[in-house]
Amino acid sequence: LDVLKRVRSQALSREEILAAALRLLRRDGLSRLTMRAVASELGVTPMAVYHHIEDKDSLIRLAYDEISASASGTLHLDEDGWEASLRRYLMSVWERLAPYPGLDGYLMEQPNINVSPQIMRFGIQFFEDAGFAPAQAPLAWSFALTYIHGRISVDAHLRQSPDAAPLQGPGARDHLRYGVEAVLHGLRVLREDAQTTFHSTTGTARE
Amino acid sequence: LDVLKRVRSQALSREEILAAALRLLRRDGLSRLTMRAVASELGVTPMAVYHHIEDKDSLIRLAYDEISASASGTLHLDEDGWEASLRRYLMSVWERLAPYPGLDGYLMEQPNINVSPQIMRFGIQFFEDAGFAPAQAPLAWSFALTYIHGRISVDAHLRQSPDAAPLQGPGARDHLRYGVEAVLHGLRVLREDAQTTFHSTTGTARE
DNA sequence: ACCTGAACACCGTTCAAGT
DNA sequence: ACCTGAACACCGTTCAAGT
């Protein structure tokens, strides 16, 4: 409560607000992130924040962009193949977002802000480069994203519990690893028999 | 606003409250479900609801249990194999929960209320019966659940949009079908080479 | 330009009454 | 037992001031 409440001598900044929001997000999760809490963390009136940030939603988006900024750089086709590359990417997304409980789950449900058009294009390009049919690439990318963000949402409560060593337990990581391998195997199979079993443009899969 | 606001002549009942909550959930999604809205839908004071229901969270759980009650019956190993059975189950879970935007995503993040111990045991039993190693069955079940609930969360916003025919579009169902097939393929591969690549009790997968 | 204080329109929920 | 009315402790946010 009384930690870091140094007396404010300088003007409040956008970066300072963002840093405070990220700190609170890690500590308490999105459900406890309030504009009033951010302000109090900064030793300032709630309305002071509004002079630098439009509203709560844009603060959340700011936090999300900050966290996943470096992650978008990690998606590229390396020499060791698309499976290893995708595995690294999914693991790194989880690693980055899992410490911020509730954040990812919240944005997953927003219209389609979660995945920016840029990330979407990157991902589709990745799967096309990996040899997936053009019509299949968006489906494959969306599948991988859906799994990993679902996993992060399910793991959200792990951080909420008051005891220590929250995400280190073997439970969460075992599930994550198993799931990522299943995703890779599933995509590999669908990539191989793409022509015979799945006609994506018709909207009906063969049974 | 003025629909169904018949004059109350009978006593309020738990079932009536639940029905109103489900109606509002379908119409506006969880984010707009408030105790006050439920009360107003029933033509009653907000606090009247509290005489029949403990709090908002238990109302949400009540709604969820009602929706997924019949779904838990659909998970059993049929004659046409575990893949067909699991596909039917995942599709039916999506079909049931997709019309209630936000509900599933909310419960996914709660400690572990989302999946009741009973459903958990059913699922593990299913995968053991399907020939998965005992140590692998919980991971496989959790993977399938994580995907389908993630998919439902991602699709939550589709219902929120004001235009008609919300979940009928080919987009959502194509993604769902592709994902379910990927899940099935992924699990099948992991089931087959379970002994060689994955040692689940050690907590570290071979790389 | 940057911040404060009071206030508004919401929440979930408690509590003291009414019938 | 069943419901109402007023109120409390929160929200996000607006608006009129202060410096």
Reported as a single tens digit per residue, the pLDDT across A38-85 is 999 999 999 999 999 999 999 999 999 999 887 666 789 999 999 999
Q: Measured between alpha carbons, how far is A109 from B172 in angstroms, rounded to an integer?
A: 14
Taking Cα atoms as reference points, which of A107, A145, A115 lies closest to residue A30? Answer: A107
The shortest CB-CB distance from A157 to any of B109, B150, B174 is to: B109
The answer to whether the CB of B46 falls within 8 A of the CB of B7 is no
**Are A185 and B190 an interchain contact pair (Cβ–Cβ within 8 Å)?**
yes
> For residue A111, which residues of chain B lie inside 8 Å, CB to CB?
157, 160-161
Q: From residues 48-77 of A, which are strand D contacts by CB within 7 A? A: 50, 55-57
Question: Environment class of residue B166 by beta-carbon count within 10 Å: exposed (0-12), middle (13-18) or buried (19+)?
Answer: middle
**Are B153 and A151 an interchain contact pair (Cβ–Cβ within 8 Å)?**
no
Q: Measured between alpha carbons, how far is A29 from A103 in angstroms, rounded to an integer?
A: 7
Give A61's contacts (C-beta < 8 A, 6+ positions apart).
Answer: A107, A113
Work out if B12's Cβ lies within 7 angstroms of strand C. Answer: no
Q: Measured between alpha carbons, how far is B144 from B136 in angstroms, rounded to an integer?
A: 12
Q: Which pLDDT band, with edges at 50, 70 and 90, does A111 fall under?
A: confident
Interatomic distance A53 CA / D16 C1' (Å): 20
Protein footprint on strand C: which nucleotides are under 7 Å from a CB? Answer: 2-6, 10-16
pLDDT at B101: 96
* pLDDT higher than 60, residue A201: no
pLDDT at B161: 54
* pLDDT higher than 50, residue A206: no
Nucleotide nearest to B51 (CA to C1'): D2
pLDDT at B2: 35
pLDDT at A168: 57
Give A26's contacts (C-beta < 8 A, 6+ positions apart).
Answer: A99, A100, A159
B153 versus A201: the higher-pLDDT residue is: B153
Q: Measured between alpha carbons, how far is B102 from B124 in angstroms, rounded to an integer?
A: 27
The shortest CB-CB distance from A183 to any of B108, B157, B186 is to: B186
**Are A108 and B150 an interchain contact pair (Cβ–Cβ within 8 Å)?**
yes
Least confident window among A14-23, A169-178, B20-29, B67-76? B67-76
pLDDT at B171: 83
Q: Which pLDDT band, with edges at 50, 70 and 90, does A160 fall under?
A: low
Where chain B has pLDDT below 50, the residues are 1-6, 163-165, 200-207
Instruction: Give the residue-averaged pLDDT of A18-32.
Output: 97
Interatomic distance B144 CA / D9 C1' (Å): 41
Protein footprint on strand D: which nucleotides are under 7 Å from a CB? Answer: 2-6, 10-16
SS3 readout for chain B = CCCCCCCCCCCCCHHHHHHHHHHHHHHHCHHHCCHHHHHHHCCCCHHHHCCCCCCHHHHHHHHHHHHHHCHHHHCCCCCCHHHHHHHHHHHHHHHHHCCCCCHHHHHHHCCCCCCCHHHHHHHHHHHHHCCCCCCCHHHHHHHHHHHHHHHHHHCHHHHHCCCCCCCCCHHHHHHHHHHHHHHHHHHHHHHHCHHHHCCCCCCCCCC
B178 shares contact with chain A (CB less than 8 Å):
yes
Which pair of structure tokens corresponds to residue B97? 């929960």
Distance (Å) from the C-alpha of residue B43 to the closest C-alpha of chain A? Answer: 31
A74 shares contact with chain B (CB less than 8 Å):
no
Instruction: Give the residue-averaged pLDDT of A126-149.
Output: 97
Distance (Å) from the C-alpha of residue A159 to the closest C-alpha of chain B? Answer: 10
Q: Measured between alpha carbons, how far is B113 from A99 in angstroms, rounded to an integer?
A: 21
The answer to whether the CB of B182 falls within 8 A of the CB of B87 is no
B50 shares contact with chain A (CB less than 8 Å):
no
Q: Measured between alpha carbons, how far is A123 from A72 in angstroms, rounded to an integer?
A: 10
Residue ranges in chain A assigned as alpha helix (H): 14-28, 35-41, 46-49, 56-69, 81-97, 103-109, 117-129, 137-154, 156-160, 170-192, 194-197
The answer to whether the CB of B151 falls within 8 A of the CB of B175 is yes
Nucleotide nearest to B49 (CA to C1'): D3
* pLDDT higher than 70, residue A164: no
* pLDDT higher than 60, residue A196: no
> For residue B181, which residues of chain A lie inside 8 Å, CB to CB?
186, 190, 198, 205
